[in-house]
Amino acid sequence: MKRKPQMGGRVLSVASEAVPLVKTGGLADVVGALPEALAPAGWDMRVMLPAYRALRGLLAKGNGFREVMREEALFGGEARVFAGEAGGLSLFLLDAPHLFDREGGPYHGPGGDWGDNPQRFATLSFMAARVAREGVHLARGKAWKPDVLHAHDWQAGLAPAYLAYHGSGGCASVITVHNIAFQGHAPARLLGELRLPAAEFHADALEYYGGLSLLKAGLITADRITTVSPNYAAELMRPEFGLGLQGVLAARSAVVSGILNGIDTEIWSPEAEAVNAYSATSLSGKAKARAALQAEFGLSVPGPLAVLVSRLTDQKGVDLLPAALPDFIEGGGGLAVLGSGDAEAEAQMLSLAARWPGRVSVRIGYDEALSHRMFQGGDAVLVPSRFEPCGLTQMYGLRYGTIPVVAAVGGLADTVIPASPAALNAGVATGITFWPTDVLALTQALRRLNALYADQKTWAQLRRNAMGQENGWAGSASAYAALYEGMLR
Ligand code: ADP
Ligand code: GLC
């Protein structure tokens, strides 16, 4: 057999979030995990992020960041790229105070989305493309020029476009779709200001329903397109999931692939928890964690204790809970919720807690440490998403023996083996799936959760299988390495 030569190279990963520096969702987990996951295969990945207000402190003297590139005037101010290390990542930080030194989140301030988001993230993409095209000099004059630019979501969508339209300097490009619901819309009049070619403003290129979509720009210009699960890659070519971009993806299907996300199995490890640690063969810590979680949430649940840790938005299907829960609660189940998001969804969750005191309890907010205690102490984790490109919480659940109850969409279907009679007989089931994402199907899934939980032998087997499932980065990292290598050949 011919052995594949070890290749490797350099990758510039361009995104709006990365753990541990800035996070609003799973995108940050993935961007933050990729560099370490890819290093063993010989890939040197640097992450480029905007220097939001909370990150500008890193640029202060003494932290080792140095300026490697400058653009005098971009959308009304200067943009400078600094190279350095922080949070275990090799970084390029884009400092453009007129665009990023603001009070608020990465995408919105107190009054909603920033009106100049297209310009803000065009600046990120423009400078990333320059770094990719020209290369930079790091400390001691060491040259660094990427072989591949890896753009994530709409915020980096213009980076492949700038390479395609202004010259690539030999750098290949790939864009990963983490969530097609966010498309980066912009009015057509920004075309010139964003330095995009007027000749490309037609339906087969940059134009999107009369305007621009920064994501579409990336999808039509990148050499390769990936998304975060194989199932979502197929779903995206259908209108109900492609959300307007299905035709663009179908037209490029030859270069579209799905690579499942992994999870960080050191951070998400029941064995490594400071309090009530446990393992698949010694579960007494889990029983204690469950008791502690009930106490913390003021719950007293005779049947399965389900947890839900999520952004509270339409995507996540949490609005189905009021109608789907009565049956579950009556059958002995209970629910602990941690989430934040749409005001209406938050209020709806709080009303569930008021309706079933002692059986449903809700914390509104974002709390990483609490989320650990919930995966630790829960019996099941609910993910009733309408669509889910990959999803991470079902994988945390698997790792903690907290059985996932998930809608069979996107990456949820790719990561959970449903407890069908056949899978139970074969001893491979890891969770409960339902479809479609509606009240009836969720009600039935929750009924099944009560029944499986009551059957101690089957439940123990499910939990063992779940905890034995491989969800780390190793497999996905080699898929990305193969993708990059394929682009260089
Ligand atoms: P998405 O990126 O669509 O929100 P994912 O499942 O990929 O969905 O990732 C969500 C990430 O954010 C997970 O790491 C999850 O644990 C975390 N998370 C979501 N909401 C909260 C919260 N309220 N508190 C703590 N962590 C949260
Ligand atoms: C998006 C998706 C989620 C996915 C994450 C990381 O936020 O909604 O399903 O896990 O990106 O790829």
Which atom of ligand 2 sits closest to the CA of residue 25? 7
| Residue 315 scores a pLDDT above 50 | yes
Task: Evaluate if residue 3 carries a pLDDT over 80.
Answer: no
- Measured in whole angstroms, the distance separating CA 375 from the mean position of its chain's CA atoms is 18
Q: How many residues does the chain have?
A: 489
Q: Binning pLDDT at 50, 70 and 90, where does residue 5 land?
A: low
Strand 148-152 versus strand 172-177 pairing type: parallel
**Pairing state of beta strands 89-95 and 79-86?**
antiparallel
pTM of the predicted structure, to 2 decimals: 0.95
Cα 316 to middle of ligand 1, angstroms: 11
Average pLDDT of the segment spanning 92-114: 94
The residues, ordered by sequence, that sit 6+ positions from 32 with a Cβ below 8 Å of its Cβ are 18, 19, 20, 21, 23, 47, 87, 89
Q: What digits encode the pLDDT tens for the residues 9-28?
A: 999 999 999 999 999 999 99
CATH topology of domain 9-262+474-488: Rossmann fold (3.40.50)
Is 100 in contact with 80 (CB distance < 8 Å)? no
Which of the four pLDDT bands, split at 50, 70 and 90, describes residue 2? Answer: very low
Residue 395: exposure state from Cβ atoms within 10 A (0-12, 13-18, ≥19): buried
Residues with CB under 6 A from ligand 2: 25-27, 30, 178-179, 228, 261, 388-392
Contact 83, 48 (CB under 8 A): no
- 37 Cβ contact partners less than 8 Å away, ≥ 6 residues apart: 262, 473, 474, 476, 477, 480
Per-residue pLDDT at 140: 85
Tokens 């007129």 appear where? 98
Q: Which of 229, 311, 340, 349 to mutate to test the pocket of ligand 1 (most atoms within 8 A of CB)?
A: 311
The answer to whether the CB of 176 falls within 8 A of the CB of 150 is yes
| Residues 359-374 pLDDT 10s | 999 999 999 999 999 9
Q: Would you say residue 4 has pLDDT above 90? A: no
Mean pLDDT of 288-300: 98
Q: How far apart are CA 356 and CA 298, in angstroms?
A: 11
- What is the rounded distance in angstroms from the CA atom of residue 71 to the CA atom of residue 73? 6
CA 307, CA 375: separation in Å to the nearest integer? 7
Query: What phi, psi does 74 have (nearest 5°)?
Result: -130, 110
- Is residue 322 reached through a cis peptide bond, with omega within 30 degrees of 0 on the bond before it? no
Residue 254 neighbours by CB distance under 10 Å: 8
% of the chain beyond a pLDDT of 70: 99
The token pair that represents 35 in the structure block = 């560099």
Ligand 1 pocket, residue 371 CB under 6 Å:
yes
Query: Which atom of ligand 2 is found nearest the CA of 410?
Result: 9
**Span 181-200, mean pLDDT?**
97
CATH code of 270-467, in short, is 3.40.50.2000
312: CB partners within 8 A, 6+ apart = 318, 339, 340, 341, 342, 345, 346, 349
The mean pLDDT of the chain is 96
CA separation, residue 32 to residues 15, 86, 90 (Å): 10, 11, 10
CB 29 less than 6 A from any atom of ligand 1: yes
Q: What is the pLDDT of residues 241-263, one digit of tens each?
A: 999 999 999 999 999 999 999 99
Judged by its nearest atom, the ligand closest to the C-alpha of residue 226 is 2
Residues of the chain with CATH 3.40.50.2000: 9-262+474-488, 270-467
Q: Whose CA is closest to atom 22 on ligand 1?
A: 366
pLDDT at residue number 317:
98
CB under 8 Å to 341, separation ≥6 — which residues? Answer: 310, 311, 312, 313, 316
Position 1 pLDDT exceeds 90: no
